Amino acid sequence: MGFFSAARQGRKDDAELGKGLWRRAHDRFHRGLDRFHQVLEGVEDDQLYAELVEIANALAGLMDRVRAVCMEAQRRAPSEGLDIPVALSGVHRALSKAGNSLATTAEAAAMLRLAVGPVPVGAASVRRRAEAVFEQVADAERHLAADPPQP
């Protein structure tokens, strides 16, 4: 992404996500995805690489959902700081957990990449951690749906 593209994207993100809590939740998730993809670059075992790419693609599919949740949360409770709105605390908690779980998923992939010799369980441990990310994003969506917007 070039300088001007990045600047345009930053302005778009500011408009849609604000500069506070929801933007941070979105950006943290995005950084976790980037980290997972960086880990893939160093995987030399073809079978492990194929398994991890499948997981990475599935996780990348969550980015639009996370963005949608963060945009709607910003619309309902605009945030320019780090104060968590009580009405959307469940949404924030679930997004925070999803970001943390994504980071541990990338860490598990990195540990597999660094393993010496054959990896007996393949990417099963990474897949289990990724499942938690999916559950937590769905939980954020459920919390948002359970707290309808105020007129």
* Domain chopping of the chain, boundaries: 3-146
CA distance 34 to 139: 22
How high is the pLDDT of residue 14?
74
pLDDT number for residue 113:
85
Q: What is the pTM of this model?
A: 0.88
List, run by run, the mean pLDDT of 10-residue segments along the chain (151 residues): 60 84 96 96 89 96 97 94 93 97 94 71 87 98 84 55
Q: What is the CA radius of gyration of the chain?
A: 17
Q: What is the pLDDT of residue 3?
A: 53
* Structure confidence at residue 118 (pLDDT): 58
Q: What is the pLDDT of residue 10?
A: 66
Return the ∠ at Cα 35 (arms to 109 and 74), rounded to 5°: 125
Check residue 91 and give its pLDDT: 97
The reported pLDDT for the residue numbered 126 is 93
End-to-end CA distance of the chain: 39
What span, in angstroms and rounded, lies between the C-alpha atoms of 129 and 133? 7
